[in-house]
Structure 1
Amino acid sequence: MRTQLLDQKDTVKKGALVQLPPVLLAFYMILVLLGILGNAVVVCAVGEDMFRETRGARNSDMILVNMAFSSLMVSVMRNTLLIISDLGLKVTSSKNWCQFLMGIWMWLRSVNVWSTFFLSAFHYLTLRRLAPPIVNLTGTQGPPKTVVMGFGLIWSTSLLYSVPAFLFSTYGGENATETLMLVGTTTRPLLGCLWDFPSTSSGLVFATTSMVIHEIVPIVLMSGTNLSSLFILYTHGNKHPLTHNGQGTPAMHRVPAERRAAKVILALIILFITSWGANVVSVNYFNYNRGTSSTSLLVIARFSNSFFYAFSPMILAVGHRKLRTVIRSVITY
């Protein structure tokens, strides 16, 4: 929305920046630290395991690394800056910095959303024998074209989607306020950065379009593909005993392992939807009520936005032997 100079009693100042009490700040710092360390472990451990494969990288591991890397970058580029701001240090002070940060935030967040969907979709297509095999059996060291094209599509289209943030955001200054925060989790301004669309209607069109295309649609798709994967595994398990070596995809000869992978993906999706829903509901309440609970709900929105990044590595470790080994060695060190 276009920045307006209004009474600070009527609106929350500077992009709805809420200072956390010491206890909550400490808890938030723990969440952010978990997100950084956990996703860094996923990137390093799984990535190292990929490069050591003599017959080529596992496609599923490549997708896990891509998702964890996007989560890691969001934690570093967004959540750590919130902590620095809460500690009393000034983070942004110009329009150019706000345009850069808002663009990066939206780009990385969108990549993270679609990467989570990519994991679920690839598992579903593998079970249906429509995707490349889980392991590259050709003996070549290069990654499969399908996966690389998927990564390129996710990162490039998300970058195009974030272009409005590079163009239509600005620094609000000390006395600037906003009358409406954009609804979606990918478009919420922070750290004094405000939207500066040419008109209110253009801002609302962008907010609605971005939320539908880059949040609701991938959530519906990732839920649908994961439930379909579980249904395929359930029906196959009933029709074919585990000792049966009949027809089917190579993945279907590992039903217990694939069923565990589908459940891990389901847990990731539930965590993602819970975090996303709590964030959007809290921000919507702030937008349209501005009651006594507004500040508390904005705190909830900030925490819920970090839950997925903090706990998704733990969920991945449940279904990934290499991660479990690394985490066990770190704990017992």
Structure 2
Amino acid sequence: MEVNATANTAAKGAWSLLSSTPLVCYVILVLVGILGNGMVICVVGENILRQQKVYRSSDMILVNMAFSNLMVSVARNLLLMSPSMNWCQILMGIWVWLRCANVWSTFFVSAFHFQTLRRVAPPMASLNGSRGPPRSLLMGFVLLWSLNLIYSIPAFVFSTKGDKNATETLMLVSSTTRPLLGCLWDFPSTYSGLAFATASMVIHEIIPILLMSVTNLGSLITLYTHGSKHHPAHKSQGMPIMHRVPAERRAAKVILALIILFITSWGASVVSMNYFNYNRGPSSAYLLVVARFTNSGFIALSPFILAMGHRRLRAVILKCKC
């Protein structure tokens, strides 16, 4: 597959722009993301372990998303700090696996909230007295991580070491399968590489974004329909979740903010990388810096957005400020 040797100058320019103030800002952004998501895992995870009689599925999903954010951030930035590593197959495979799982973990938050609002009966766990975590949710986590691991196998198999700071045209189309540290794709043919890149863009970016937008819109519509105090008929339909309309409305707004932040981060990254790849104008190096910042923006800011809808997280953050 074709390698762009001309990427060398632009890539070096992008790194030179990440000096002094921009580099400090980027390091702070990365540290905030790592510490923030680590805090979500510790605080919410401790809450799950403390309440052993009742496993809150929403908390488990938040921990899963925070864990995927943390792994993506650690993997990306450890690789950037270790440019001499020559493990392209392992690095590219891990990146594709973690990034794809991260996208679907974000979708899980919106999908679970929509399913909760649509539930017309109490969950079975509360009826049969089961004290274990929901099996269906655990199975969902297993499928999420295992299926994405299987999907990343081509990244393990068809990656190779390229020239320093070189980049491969096709893979910059997608923010999920971007090249790392001169590691390139070496598929048997251009068509097979195009098929993998297109599938990544559709399956792991466009479809999850559409689904999370639709499910969140459905949640907002459901809350609007059943939340009015002037419609007592809705309250007699036996939906157990509707007595907590204000809290669920706040949760829906938090999820909406997460989705907007995710789409903004994803869109800015894709646009910046494709401008660099196909235009190579004077703004290319600057847009690569923009892509690098936006890739970390969602991971850094999502814990603070989650805190707006999670009482225990909010209490911990306020206590830290004091």
TM-score, length-normalised on structure 1? 0.89
Point out where structure 1 has 5 or more consecutive residues left out of the alignment. 85-89
Show CA shifts across 1:31-53 (max 9, x none).
11011000000000000001111
Check conservation: 2:268, 2:291, Cα contact below 8 A.
Answer: yes
Cα distance in 2 for residues equivalent to 1:98 and 1:307: 26
CA deviation after TM superposition for structure 1 residue 201, in Å: 2.3
Residues 254, 175 of structure 1: alpha-carbon distance in 2 compared, 3 angstrom cutoff = closer
Residues 132, 30 of structure 1: alpha-carbon distance in 2 compared, 3 angstrom cutoff = farther
1:128 corresponds in structure 2 to 118
Cα distance in 2 for residues equivalent to 1:216 and 1:132: 33
141-150 vs 318-327, which deviates more?
A: 141-150
Deviating beyond 4 angstroms after TM superposition, the runs of 4 or more aligned structure 1 residues are: 13-17, 134-139, 239-245
Alignment of 1:130-149 (within 5 A): 133=123, 138-149=128-139
Correspondence for 1:164 among 154, 161, 165: 154
Cα distance in 2 for residues equivalent to 1:106 and 1:140: 37
2:106 corresponds in structure 1 to 116
Alignment of 1:81-230 (within 5 A): 81-82=79-80, 84=81, 90-94=82-86, 97-129=87-119, 133=123, 138-174=128-164, 178-230=168-220
Check conservation: 1:172, 1:192, Cα contact below 8 A.
Answer: yes
CA deviation after TM superposition for structure 1 residue 22, in Å: 1.8
What SS class does the counterpart of residue 172 from structure 2 fall into? coil
CA deviation after TM superposition for structure 1 residue 253, in Å: 1.1
CA deviation after TM superposition for structure 1 residue 263, in Å: 0.6
1:258 aligned onto 2:264? no
Percent of aligned positions that are identical: 66
Residues 176, 55 of structure 1: alpha-carbon distance in 2 compared, 3 angstrom cutoff = closer
Cα distance in 2 for residues equivalent to 1:216 and 1:130: 30
Show CA shifts across 1:179-199 (max 9, x none).
554311110012221222222
2:315 corresponds in structure 1 to 325
Show CA shifts across 1:81-110 (max 9, x none).
32x2xxxxx43442xx11111111111111
Check conservation: 2:72, 2:95, Cα contact below 8 A.
Answer: yes
2:31 corresponds in structure 1 to 33
Correspondence for 2:46 among 48, 53, 60: 48
Correspondence for 1:231 among 197, 205, 221: 221
CA deviation after TM superposition for structure 1 residue 12, in Å: 3.3
TM-score, length-normalised on structure 2? 0.92
Cα distance in 2 for residues equivalent to 1:134 and 1:28: 46
Show CA shifts across 1:190-211 (max 9, x none).
2221222222222222111110
Residues 330, 204 of structure 1: alpha-carbon distance in 2 compared, 3 angstrom cutoff = same
Q: What letter is aligned with 2:175?
A: T
Residues matched between the structures, number: 320
CA deviation after TM superposition for structure 1 residue 77, in Å: 1.0
Cα distance in 1 for residues equivalent to 2:202 and 2:120: 27
164-173 vs 30-39, which deviates more?
A: 164-173
1:22 aligned onto 2:25? no
Point out where structure 2 has 5 or more consecutive residues left out of the alignment. none
1:87 corresponds in structure 2 to none
Show CA shifts across 1:149-194 (max 9, x none).
1111111111111111111112224485545543111100122212
Show CA shifts across 1:13-39 (max 9, x none).
698893122211111101110110000
Correspondence for 2:279 among 282, 285, 289: 289
